[in-house]
Amino acid sequence: MKTIKIYLLLVAAVLLVITSCEEEKVHRAVSNDKTPPQPPTGVTYQPLYGGARFFYDVPNDEDLLSIEAVYTNTQGNSFSFSASYFVDSLDVYGFGDTINYEIGLYAVDRAGNRSTPVNVTVKPLESAISRVIKSLNLKPAFGSFFIDWMNELKQSINIYVDFSYTQNGETKAFTSVFSSNLENDRRFVEDLDLSSEDPVKINVRVSDIYGNISEPVDLGEINLLEDVIIPKNGWFLPLANDTVGGVPQGYGDNVEGRLVSVIDGIIDEGNNLNFMHTGGRGRTGNSADGNMPWNVIIDLGDHYELSRIVTHQRHMDFCGDLCQGQYYRGENVGLYEMFIWDDDTNEWVYVSQNKIEVPVGLSELEIVKKGKEGDMAYMYPDEPKYTKPTRWFRYRAMKGFGGNYTLDNANCLSEITLFGKKAGN
């Protein structure tokens, strides 16, 4: 046993010496090394949209850290990109035009020494912002308009929407700015108090994080669509389990909840308990049939052409505006479908599905404000328009927010508000 202990002590001592030597070697390399590495060799490049991909052979230096590319754009700003010595390629972005750019490629060691540069002249394909501009698609909507675009490289860009209109003889001009790095995105300019007779002129500029910005792109003039809130004083709710077109009305009177609360014009603010609650009785309203989906069926009292819906969630927290409560979580509906009754075919007709997005990057107070404002969706989100005239509307709750909209745990809804116009108007 004594011999084993001595052996283990000797092994530990040897490892300590080796470790100390390695640490000293690294320390000397970082603190005293003044010798730059050899530059990369065999450099070639492939042009990219707004950039270039460099291929090379890394030098055989034991303290090599990375390969770095540096260039200066036409505005005089320098940018650098680096890749680990483990890989044999490096992507460089930020070129704003299809002209020649001079790029310097360096090898960099752990002490921060740079090799002599390998200078390469590259000519990129069209810029990333040029690609975004070509994809811009403007659509009018109800009291608003929206713009779609594609950003294949998923680069961080800014979209500047310059819009103007004349109202009561006065010309008004505004700019909305949207930042995005999504491959496909859509942004709205909303709450414009304009009639369908007031044209809106729209220009768009696109910039990137490398200092490139496009000239204004004229998207022309559009006329917004008009709608109004459909009055609720003529609405009627069938009783729970009563069927319309073979679909049963949902049960909403569990605990403090009441089905009628979804059409009374009062939202739940935490202390007033104004919401419906299924108590897990979905589908047919029978507790044995599972929680979801469930339906709220509304007799509108007359025929209307529908345009939009605003839903309000259960807040369920007595701290009022000071905390998030159940907004965008808890027992609230995160995913739902909409249907209208078609008098010509005597059946329910699917309109669209909407996912209520969970707010990102907002404070708790901002989330509460957003929850109190309600969540708006168009009946036809890609091509805003009115539905066919209908007297009956069906809201079908599909999923809660939990599990990335996969859980059947949504029991509550506070309010449904519909927009549109009376049929024939």
Q: pLDDT tens-digit profile of 373-396?
A: 999 999 999 999 999 999 999 999
Whether 147 and 93 share a structural domain: no
Among 108, 111, 106, 116, smallest CA distance to 34 is for 111
Last residue of a domain, one of 172, 196, 223: 223
The residue among 168, 203, 223 that closes a domain is: 223
In a domain, 10, yes or no: no
Residue 21 maps to a domain? no
Radius of gyration for the alpha carbons in the chain, expressed in angstroms and rounded: 31
Domain check: are 109 and 215 in the same one? no
Average pLDDT over residues 42-71: 93
SS percent in the chain: helix, strand, coil, step 5: 15, 45, 40
Q: What is the rounded CA–CA span in Å between residue 32 and residue 53?
A: 34
Are 293 and 169 found together in one domain?
no
Give 148's pLDDT tier (boundaries 50, 70, 90): very high
pLDDT value of residue 287: 57
What is the mean pLDDT of the segment spanning 197-217?
94
pLDDT at 1 over 80: no
pLDDT of residue 317: 67
- Which tops the pLDDT comparison, 126 or 271? 126
Q: Which residues of 254-281 are buried (b: 16+ CB within 10 A; e: fewer)?
A: beebbbebbbeeebbbbeebbbbbbbbb
Q: Give the CATH number, domain containing residue 61.
A: 2.60.40.10
Give the amino acid at 368: V
Which three-class secondary structure state does DSSP give residue 61?
coil
pLDDT band at 100 (very low <50, low <70, confident <90, very high): very high
Which whole number is the average pLDDT over 111-115? 92
Number of alpha helices (DSSP H) and beta strands (DSSP E) in the chain? 4, 25
Domain of residue 97: give its range. 41-122
- CATH number, domain of 362, equals 2.60.120.260
Q: E strands of 190-324, at which residues?
A: 199-208, 217-223, 228-229, 243-244, 247-248, 276-277, 294-312
pLDDT band at 3 (very low <50, low <70, confident <90, very high): very low
* Alpha-helical segments (H) within 296-397: 364-373
Q: Higher confidence at residue 318 or residue 61?
A: 61
Q: Model pTM greater than 0.85?
A: no
Beta bridge partners of 349: 340
Strand, coil or helix: 134:
helix
Nearest to 378 by CA among 400, 342, 396, 354: 354
Is residue 223 within 8 Å of residue 198, measured between CB atoms?
yes
Q: Is the pLDDT score of 292 beyond 60?
A: yes
- Considering the domain architecture, whether residues 216 and 361 belong to the same structural domain is answered as no
Residues 355, 256 within the same domain:
yes
Calculate mean pLDDT across residues 25-40: 69
Do 254 and 114 lie in a common domain?
no
Checking if the pLDDT of 4 tops 80, the result is no
Average per-residue pLDDT for the chain: 89
Query: 52 with 161, same domain?
Result: no
Q: Is residue 22 in a domain?
A: no
Is 296 among the domain residues?
Answer: yes
Query: Quick check: is 167 in a domain?
Result: yes
- Indicate whether 153 and 57 sit together in one domain: no
Residues 262 and 402 in one domain: yes
Domain final residue pick, 171, 205, 223: 223
Asked if the model's pLDDT at residue 258 lies above 70, the reply is yes
Assigned domain for 35 exists: no
Average pLDDT over residues 9-29: 43
Secondary structure element (H or E) that encloses residue 29, with its range: helix 2-32
State the Cα–Cα distance between residues 323 and 325, nearest whole angstrom: 6
Do 367 and 245 lie in one domain? The reply is: yes
Q: Phi then psi for 259, rounded to 5 degrees?
A: -55, -40
> In the chain, how many domains are there?
3
Q: Are residues 146 and 254 in the same domain?
A: no
From CA 392, how far away is CA 405, in angstroms rounded?
A: 27
Same domain as 236, residue 357: yes
Q: What is the pLDDT of residue 325?
A: 87
